[in-house]
């Protein structure tokens, strides 16, 4: 299982983008910073919260599965 510390810059892996057909649009170029979150998803270690709002609930942070993320260099 991948672990990301708070403040780590992450992006979607090329494998995930390829498997989901996301070759164009903003997702292949998106970069996020892992944020602190103590929700049940993040406690499992399988998800992390990032500095973007959720699509379904703008009051919450977006959560992404760690298996679909990789570290990237800071912009």
- In tens, the pLDDT along 15-72 reads 998 888 887 767 778 899 999 999 999 999 999 999 999 888 889 999 999 999 999 9
The answer to whether residue 4 scores a pLDDT higher than 90 is yes
Residue 1 is classified by DSSP as: -
The model carries a pTM of 0.85
The answer to whether residue 8 scores a pLDDT higher than 60 is yes
pLDDT of residue 74: 60
**Domain extents in the chain:** 9-71
């Amino acid at each position: 299982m991948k672990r990301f510390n708070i403040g780590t810059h992450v992006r979607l892996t090329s494998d995930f983008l390829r498997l989901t057909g996301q070759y164009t649009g903003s997702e292949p170029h998106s970069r996020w910073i892992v944020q602190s979150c103590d929700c049940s998803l993040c406690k499992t270690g399988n998800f992390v919260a990032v500095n973007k709002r959720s699509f379904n609930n703008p009051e919450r942070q977006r959560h992404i599965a760690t298996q679909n993320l990789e570290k990237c260099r800071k912009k």
